[in-house]
Amino acid sequence: MVRSYFHLHLVSDSTGETLINVGRAAAAQYEGVSAIEHVYPLVRSGTQLERVINEIEQAPGIVLYTLVGRDLTERLEEACRATGSPVLSVLEPVHRMLQGYLGTHSTARPGAQHMLNAEYFKRIDAMNFTLAHDDGNLPLDLNEADVILLGVSRTSKTPTAIYLANRGLKTTNIPLIPGVPPPAVLETLRQPLIVGLIASPERIVQIRQNRLLSLKADDSSSYVDRDAVANEIATSRRLFARNRWPVIDVTRRSIEETAAAIVDLHREHRLKFIAD
């Protein structure tokens, strides 16, 4: 397949995360087409905007923006018309809907979603907790966790835990090691949501082989033996089933998809916990 490319300019007066996510989600729907991303975060002055416009003039393409200052947005749109670059305010349709429904106007505050409020510090606290409890560390205070991830080696436990921490969930992950029983306290915990992560033996072997290759280590051990890996996964499945812990197969899931499923499970878990 011949792949084509286009320039995608993402202009934000904040971190640019919203635009990056929207742009990538939309571009991913077009096979054979890739975006050359130009990301411009924290654009809050006319001088900064002129530098952005200069780059757009050098490489015209689609322009998405989240600027709240009217003078900046008008200047950007004027420049885009001059270069023939389609331009769109990503948040404007949402603002119009909210204004119509709420009957009030928004207050222009660049980066308002990143203010240092209680939610922000909750995420920082969750991140600190998660990093301190990575790979089975500090098992004595597991009841303080919001989520506990269990799985054999290379089931994406750590990156998933960090992603969940960024969503404000204190997460610990515990590896399931052949011949080593998991902490007995797990079967008595009520507050944390315990989730088992599994993957196909083929996927696990592939990841482990790549891991050993990067470490220049010997790959003849049972660590990458297909039958041994299949047995590890089967054993973990029995553990999860015995304790009625929800299971997520991460074989074909991205970290974001796995985390989204866990967030949904955690919401249901908290409702049951509160009801009890």
What was the pLDDT predicted at 146?
97
Dihedral of the CA atoms 93, 46, 58, 33 (nearest 10)?
-30
Give the C-alpha separation, 26 to 41, whole Å: 20
Can you spell out the DSSP letters for 21-51? HHHHHHHTTSTTEEEEEEEE----SHHHHHH
Residues in the chain: 276
| pLDDT on residue 272 | 81
Which pLDDT score, from 0 to 100, does residue 205 have?
95
| pLDDT score recorded for residue 220 | 67
Give residue 88's pLDDT: 97
Name which of 124, 110, 103, 102 is nearest 71 in CA terms.
Answer: 110
> Is 156 annotated to bind ligand?
yes
Residue 147 assigned ligand-binding role: no
Task: Report the pLDDT value the prediction gives residue 116, as an integer from 0 to 100.
Answer: 55
Q: Is 155 annotated as a binding residue?
A: yes
Which pLDDT does position 112 carry in this prediction?
58
Report the pLDDT value the prediction gives residue 95, as an integer from 0 to 100: 84
Q: Is 154 annotated as a binding residue?
A: yes
| Residue 43 one-letter amino acid | V
Q: Is 153 annotated as a binding residue?
A: yes
The structure tokens 């989240």 sit at 66
Mean pLDDT, consecutive 10-residue stretches, the chain (276 aa), reads: 89 91 93 94 95 97 93 96 96 89 74 63 92 89 95 97 95 96 92 97 95 80 93 98 97 95 93 72
Residue 152: its pLDDT value, please? 97
Structural domains of the chain, ranges and CATH numbers in brackets: 4-113 (3.40.50), 117-275 (3.40.50)
152 labeled binding residue: yes
The pLDDT, as a whole number, for residue 271 is: 85
Q: Tell me, what's the pLDDT at 78? A: 97
- Mention every residue, 6+ apart, whose C-beta is less than 8 A from residue 53: 75, 76, 79
